[in-house]
Amino acid sequence: MLRFLHYLFHTRNHTFVILHLILQGMVYTEYTWEIFGLCQELEFSLNYLFLPYLLLIVNLVFFALSCETNPGTITKANELLFLQVYEFDEGMFPKNMRCSTCDLRKPARSKHCSVCNRCVHRFDHHCVWVNNCIGAWNIRYFLFYLLTLTASAATMAVVSTVFLVQLVMVSDLYLETYVDDFGHLQVVDTVFVIQYLFVTFPRIVFLLGFVVVLSFLLGSYLCFCLYLAATNQTTNEWYRDARAWCQHCPHVAWTPSAEPQVYRNIHSRGLWSNLREIFLPAVAHYERKKK
């Protein structure tokens, strides 16, 4: 079991890439089979119904780019170039550090990925879903991938919800009455409508619940990634800073020597400059300056 978990999460493999595509295929199959045709019968706009498919195409493009693009692998050939991109803060990223595995000097904001067995420039994290590191050269593709994936799930959730609401309105179900377990006549309420829809359209209700939860999870992670991009931080830097704070949070008051050192982000240059660095990687800026 441990060997299998090590294979899944600590070696490069396509397991999660295949799982990702299977899940995405299953969701779109359910949407096409259960919702698309019924929505056409209710005369939904085709532009509205085809939007998830358009988002799927764009998402798969950025998914492929996130998988295949070099994240910024540091080698002997480009080591000196990367060393001049970011300044060292002498805290989280001190000067003259070497990677014991790659035998390279470590540029500021870089990290050795044990899964890929390489040092990556402006390392963010290793993503098993794309089977690749996320670094300076593919973070922009990853953000668009995450954005379109979130939009796909949210769009499906909206279409499914509107379909079910429209169905209730057209059938006048909310005007009906029913006899409860005690023989009393009751007006149809929200709970009864939900139960009725779940019994009549179980797969659509299950799909709706799945995409709503997925939209919330993906949306939350997307907001976190956008926050990091706006403040010019990486996941690796945020995690290391948070862990440093946790290690200095005893239940008793700190002594002066035990107080945690505050990490100072010296790389943030304002919102627009930070976003420009994401979409126009720092090495490209440096090469233009050289020319």
3-state secondary structure labels for all residues of the chain? CHHHHHHHHHCCCCHHHHHHHHHHHHHHHHHHHHHHHHHHHCCCCHHHHHHHHHHHHHHHHHHHHHHHCCCCECCCCCHHHHHCCCCCCCCCCCCCCEECCCCEECCCCCEEECCCCEEECCCCEEECCCCEEECCCCHHHHHHHHHHHHHHHHHHHHHHHHHHHHHHHHHCHHHCEEECCCCCEEECCHHHHHHHHHHHCHHHHHHHHHHHHHHHHHHHHHHHHHHHHHCCCCHHHHHHHHHHHHHCCCCCCCCHHHCCCCCCCCCCCCHHHHHHHHHCCHHHHHHHHHC
Q: Which two tokens mark 175?
A: 């005007």
Handedness of CA 266, 226, 275, 107 (dihedral sign): positive
CA distance 248 to 265: 19
Count of Cβ atoms closer than 10 Å to residue 228 Cβ: 19
102 is catalytic: no
Active site residue: 127, 133, 225, 246, which one?
Answer: 127
Q: Enter the tokens of residue 76.
A: 């002997």
Residue length of the chain: 291
Residues known to be catalytic: 127
